[in-house]
Amino acid sequence: MISENIVLVIDAGNTSIKVGHFQEDTLVGVRCFSNNDMDKFYSYLNENNSSSRVLSSVLSDKATKNIVEKTNSFLVTTEASLPIRIRYGTKNTLGVDRMCNAVATSILLKTAFGVSIDIGTCIKFDLISKNDGYLGGSIAPGINLRYRALNDYTGKLPLLFNKSATQLVGNDTNSSIQSGVLNGMNAEINGLIKMYTEQYSDLTFFMTGGDARYFDLDSKNDIFADENLTLIGLFEIYKHNG
């Protein structure tokens, strides 16, 4: 049973839902649930019904509304008051997960600029200035989306799921697809890191996301891994909104 002074911070992603337990501004535990097994998620929250809840969701409006109604959670949207400035042309289209990562990065940032790199369903780079707030970033397909696109838009290429490291030169169709997706993504991520370091001085990177562990990033850069970056940002937004 969770004690009454713990806030449950819920991050509903495209493939899984993470629940962080914050007590006195500290993350004391995390539970993860598959989107294919929502009954376990709801059962878990019912067991801890004395806790305050805050939710961010990138799911459909219908799915998000269902979670809010069943969990009695405070939903963070793009209209929420934030502890940082957002310099984005269309704030109402900014993903709440990117917004949370930006807030967490600004809290942790000790240099002039910071970049959150979130590798999950998509690869998201987001640039934060210590003085000017959130500046923008980029979105690209993640591992599963690339595998699915190769299968969906060709007649014969199989659908793969393997995320383990692979050789550069594939010696059959499966290993060639795996090399193209994983080695291509690794080069893409490291290439973007290089471009950011060339354009912005005094820069720190913060890596997060469920698929971040599958990539070998250039150790010469200041990269800090934090798999709970989104939860931290969501909790800071919750506090900021009282």
Task: Identify whether the C-beta of residue 230 lies closer than 8 Å to the C-beta of residue 100.
Answer: yes
Is the pLDDT at 28 greater than 50, yes or no? yes
Query: Residue range 189-207: average pLDDT?
Result: 94
Is the pLDDT at 1 greater than 50? The verdict is no
Q: Does domain 6-75 have CATH number 2.60.40.10?
A: no
Note the pTM of the prediction, 2 decimals: 0.89
Catalytic residue numbers read 97
Q: How far apart are CA 9 and CA 241, in angstroms?
A: 14
User: What pLDDT does residue 37 have?
Assistant: 87
pLDDT at 202 over 50: yes
* pLDDT higher than 70, residue 229: yes
Confidence label for 219 from pLDDT (cuts 50, 70 and 90): low
Query: What is the average pLDDT score of the chain?
Result: 91
> What is the pLDDT at residue 218?
65
Position 50 pLDDT exceeds 80: no
Candidate from 24-28, 154-158, 220-224 with smallest mean pLDDT? 220-224
Looking at the chain, the whole-number percentage of residues with pLDDT higher than 70 is 96
Q: What confidence tens digit (pLDDT) does each residue in 154-168 have?
A: 999 999 999 988 899
How would residue 220 be classed by pLDDT, with cut points 50, 70 and 90? low
Pick the CATH number of 91-143+174-240 from 3.90.1150.10, 3.30.420.40, 3.40.50.2300, 3.40.50.2000: 3.30.420.40
β-strand partners of 116: 126, 206
Sorted by where each begins, the domain ranges of the chain are: 6-75, 91-143+174-240
Instruction: Please tell me if the domain spanning 6-75 has the same topology as the one spanning 91-143+174-240.
Output: yes
